A and B are shown apart, each in its own frame.
Chain A
């Protein structure tokens, strides 16, 4: 589970050399939009050599390749697939593209004798991709879906707003599809990097619909994203009370019990367990707590 995915431009040495210190759960080295068409070779070489030689790397490494309808994608894969990376982010992801990508990746990984499995994150940023999201998440090796709201809005010919009402439907549909297959639903980045309050509200909306994390385009966005996508102190306290009450009920031989006047049943117990599990993963509580 990753709360934050930080985009780092693939041709920017200053950002790349600090990629491991920003504290993001995952870093996406971008070969696509942030790299000029004349600099793709430079970016590939820089990211590859960084990954091959830098002594400390980010916890999770994702490469955003160029889309399958560009002349760049094959070189991206040939240069960047290695045991150092965890996933490939495919822009303009369509079902057929992912199936093709999976086969190409298998061939390259086999030729390079790579050991580590490399998964795919589908960037859903087209109306046509959204309509295929349920079949995209079912493909073996797809570990998540990242929603790209800006390109999606362009494709739909709609305006982006501060409140994000226009992206309620794609967010909800992606979150639901990902949940059904137990994979990550990653929300679109918030583009106003100086608006901290706006970022928190935007992340809360995404989290409230079931998104599990959010992309960031600036390191200063990471802390707010982590706060929103981690269990709060109140939630952890509540979950502990539920699990303590469950233990007491079991000791008394009770099947159903109540806490603070509310009936506690299986879905609530599961929610409490998930909160504690996430709190442990994100370091919100220590293991002896």
Chain B
């Protein structure tokens, strides 16, 4: 199974793990889940759509990252998955 990991569990960062999958599955664990779960989910879905990816498993362990950090980490994780 192909896998890609990017980011950290430091404050203001996010650790993104992506795995090959037959379906789309997004699992979000955030320190600000109550307020920002939907926004984080939207950033992930938008980034995947840009890359025309509709079948993948994304694990997002968020420590208060801003949108561009989530997007950047997700893109790097996807690239790393391709390289594996």
Interface residues of A (CB under 8 A from B): 12-14, 17, 41-42, 45-46, 48-50, 52-54
Most buried by A among B6, B67, B68, B75: B68
9 shortest A-B CB distances, which residue pairs? A49-B68, A49-B72, A45-B72, A14-B12, A46-B72, A53-B68, A13-B12, A13-B69, A45-B76
CB pair B75 A45 closer than 8 Å: yes
Known contacts A13-B66, A14-B11, A42-B6, then 18 further A-B pairs from the complex at CB < 8 Å, ordered by chain A residue: A12-B10, A14-B12, A17-B12, A41-B6, A41-B79, A41-B80, A42-B76, A45-B73, A45-B76, A46-B68, A46-B73, A48-B72, A49-B71, A49-B75, A50-B68, A50-B69, A50-B72, A54-B68
B65 on the A face (CB < 8 A)? yes
Which of B66, B73, B75 is A17 in contact with, Cβ under 8 Å?
A: B66
Interface residues of B (CB under 8 A from A): 6-7, 10-13, 65-69, 71-73, 75-76, 79-80
B28 to chain A, nearest CB (A): 17
A49 to B68, CA, bound (A): 5
Q: Is the interface of A mostly helix, strand, loop or mixed?
A: helix
Given contacts A13-B13, A14-B10, A14-B11, contact A42 B73 (CB under 8 A): yes
A54 to B71, CA, bound (A): 13
CB pair A53 B76 closer than 8 Å: no
Collect the chain B residues with CB atoms within 8 Å of residue A50's CB. 68-69, 72
Collect the chain B residues with CB atoms within 8 Å of residue A13's CB. 10, 12-13, 65-66, 69
Collect the chain B residues with CB atoms within 8 Å of residue A48's CB. 72
Collect the chain B residues with CB atoms within 8 Å of residue A45's CB. 6, 72-73, 75-76
Collect the chain B residues with CB atoms within 8 Å of residue A17's CB. 12, 66, 69
A11 to chain B, nearest CB (A): 8
Collect the chain B residues with CB atoms within 8 Å of residue A46's CB. 68-69, 72-73
B72 to chain A, nearest CB (A): 4
